[in-house]
Structure 1
Amino acid sequence: MVVGLGNPGAKYHWTRHNIGFECLNLVHRKLGSPSLQTKFEGQFAKVKQGGQDVCLVWPLTYMNLSGRCVAQFARFYRIEPANILVVCDDLSLPLGKLRIRKSGSSGGQKGLEDILRCLGTQDVPRLRIGIDPTPDRWETADYVLSKFAAADKEVVDQALVRADAAIACWWSDGIDVAMNLFNASEPRSPKRPKQKPSDTSPGSD
């Protein structure tokens, strides 16, 4: 199962916190846009990869409650935590940098934190995509819920393409190979936004 994290609704499209959704959208398109269904408080599609069924899951519970959706899918389809890859944003990484890990803490990412809590283990693979640290004079909740700037688009698009390739590598060759191939890439980071937006919606981070 591959899980992309984000908040549902048009107002969150292309926000930093939704880069997990954006990544899974790209994976879904490149796999031919198989039909989407709604189940267990999430949107999902089933695809075949390497002779195995793979679920692509977008939790629709809002970020902080992502684990509720993921745990239901895992129980129903009998998917072990080690076979779930969570794709999410990371404030500690430069914009566009990928980091794949087999396990560990949430690092403060609240959606991942809820997934680890609901599954009862930290041994859940995750693919983090850097969104840059919170700039000066910003609140973190405002920053992650703000949209990427036009200057960010090229770096973010490239990161999503690399993330799609990393996911394909994970399910074909395993996480160790994916870590070796994709953790080393170093993207260029453009200037970060300086002004706080006035229309952010705190409370969904």
Structure 2
Amino acid sequence: MGENTKMTPAASKILETASHLFYWKGIHSIGVETIANEAGVTKKTLYDRFGSKDQLIVAYLKDRDSQWKNHLSNYSDHVPDEEPLQKILSIFDALENWLTTNNQRGCAFVNAFAELAEESHPGREVIIEEKKWLKQLFATYLKQLGLEHVDDIAERLLILHEGITVTYSMSLSKGIAAAKETANEIINANININN
């Protein structure tokens, strides 16, 4: 299915069902027959709409990516462009809400990446591109702060973001406040170096 193609009601139901099952049960533990049965469609309809399980996985990951980016923009769009530090910190605010409402089983991308061991799987590209996008978003805001070595700092912020995502779902973290404070410290330390 093309990204710009409007989904039929059946395709929407298949994607919704697959998304729920893939996230909560795992990609490899769920077959197309289970997805079709749960969605109330035939396997033929599933294959007609998505072509293969791999393409359904790609659609699931792209949909999850779109949901995350929309969620994130609901936070960052409310911060004035003249406040790039607050834009960065708003990413952690968005993450906190996301983790408590959409991510009780951990990061869908991290979980999927662990399951999609074959390097050529098309779902891996979606996952890698999402992480690159987030690193670039951090770098964009860091450049607006006038910092040097933005790629290095952006990578540290990405690692912090990903680490809190994983540990939060395991109840090993005290929450986003510590990650947000650490991000602020990393950025301010680099602001002081540049001044």
TM-score, length basis structure 1: 0.29
Higher relative contact order (CA 8 A, sep 6+): 1
- Decide which structure has greater helix share: 2
Could you say which structure has the larger radius of gyration? 2
TM-score, length basis structure 2: 0.30
- Decide which structure has greater strand share: 1
